[in-house]
Amino acid sequence: MKQQAFNPYLPAREYIPDGEPYLVDGRVYVFGSHDLFNGSCFCLGDYVAYSAPEDDLSDWRCEGVIYRKTQDPRLNEKDNVMFAPDVVQGKDGKWYLYYTLASNGVMSVAVSDTIAGKYEYLGVVRTPNGHVIGTSEGDVFHFDPGVLRDDDGRIYLYTGFSPRPGEGCDALMQGRRWEGSYCFELEDDMRTVRGEPTLVAPGIVSAKGTSFEKHPFFEASSIRKIGKKYYFAYSSVYCHELCYAVSDRPNGAFKCMGVLVSNGDVGLKGRKYLDAVSYMGNNHGGLVSVKGQWYIFYHRHTNRSSYSRQACAEKITFKNGKFEQAELTSCGLNEGPLLGKGRYPAYIACNLISAEGAKFSEKATEEEPCITQDGEGYDGPDPYITGMRSGSRAGFKYFDLTETHLISVLTRGAEGILTVTDGKKPLAVLVLSASEDWAPAKAPLLGGNPSSPLYFTFEGDGAIDFKEFTLI
């Protein structure tokens, strides 16, 4: 690698949630929606794509704006954002991008000669008689597409939205079908459906008595074929977790197999919801295999908001046809633990909690820590952790600390003590002085191992901002 790879893996001031990764011609391409920092809503930006060579997943390149929401003629004052997209290559060799505008329940399609765009508006998904699916009572409510081209060239579209009844979405549905995720087969024109849709993943109302009962479908359909089996990833009604189901055929008989990743590590090694390691929120992503290693792409929440989400990825173990739940780390795409020498920005924290623990980001108060940045846009200093009060903890995983002997930090705010541990034993104690500007503190670091976490816990009156730490 040219450099080490961190989470989030894209530029520090970029906000790309809902990432769908694909390996094409030696490069990994990621397509997602586009949040803005401190935005007032989900997905306010136009679509941009990023790619990296399969040999170096630290070297991400922005492919630029690949599609603007103003290109869709259905754009209006109400339907003015583009939610999570997905792409697939058609039989004609062209690439097709599927998405919905806001919550109108209609699936739009754009087309490009190359995977990285630029894409041009093509039309909407419809029946053979021209009816636009999602515009009438009884239609499937289109949302969060997943698209698959099977080995025989047939194209399948997975789509659906299934919130809990009574949570404010009933009026939005206006009589349309929202029992779970549905599979449509598409004609060669890539926008006309063939036959009737089939329910592949039931929502909370219809999941009872099925393999999905513990993890009912909510949103975020994503589909991959591995060998001869079909792997369907999705967000459950608990939002923070991406789950998966497996079938021998693309359009039905899926069995829920468990959790791929939780953006609070809930479920990992029996961890309960109240013991989440980070502030949580909705989740969306996909699977990709690169040079024999599987990864799960997902997103995290920042700024005490659901509207400033960043792209993350983790290695995930695939064995005997099953995935094991991945762990949140600061080094997901790196070749191994991070070096025990060098400067590390605090925004790569994979764990962040207050003295009372963590909750959903949108419910966090100004008394709780979060990752934020100064100013908006791409230009400016790196994001940092703000609002660390007594008992707050930031965690970073993993580092090779076998040759590390000293640690220094940059903080501002209250005076106090920052204790560094590996989760079991203390490694360093840093004394912080009160300061309005970024001020350093350093201390010896005691014995580490080749794959060690670092946890920073603040004790003191008031709050601190945490910018970075350096290992020496």
Contact 17, 299 (CB under 8 A): yes
Nearest-angstrom CA–CA distance, 99 and 349: 31
Structure-block tokens of residue 278: 């980070």
Q: Looking at 14, 18, 35, 368, which residue is catalytic?
A: 18
Q: Looking at 72, 219, 314, 468, which residue is catalytic?
A: 219
Nearest-angstrom CA–CA distance, 18 and 37: 16
Q: What is the DSSP-derived secondary structure letter of residue 8?
A: S
Helix or strand (DSSP H, E) at 269: none
Structure-block tokens of residue 49: 């794509």
Nearest-angstrom CA–CA distance, 175 and 456: 50
Please name which of 410, 395, 411 lies closest in space to residue 353, comparing C-alpha atoms.
395
Cα separation values, 368 from 238, 274, 304, 320, 462, Å: 22, 16, 9, 42, 12
DSSP notation for 226-263 = ETTEEEEEEEETTSSEEEEEEESBTTB--EEEEEEEET
Per-residue b or e along 406-432, where b marks 16 or more CB atoms closer than 10 Å to that residue's CB: ebbbbbbbbebebbbbbeeeebbebeb
Contact 20, 32 (CB under 8 A): yes
Contact 233, 226 (CB under 8 A): no
Cα separation values, 199 from 78, 218, 250, 425, Å: 29, 13, 11, 50
**Catalytic site residue 18?**
yes
Cα separation values, 357 from 60, 306, 351, 393, Å: 33, 18, 11, 9
Structure-block tokens of residue 345: 């920005």
Degrees, nearest 5: CA angle 409-263-291: 90
Q: What is the DSSP-derived secondary structure letter of residue 214?
A: T
DSSP notation for 271-322 = --GGG-SS-B------EEEETTEEEEEEEEE-TTSSS-EEEEEEE--EETTE
Catalytic residues: 18, 219
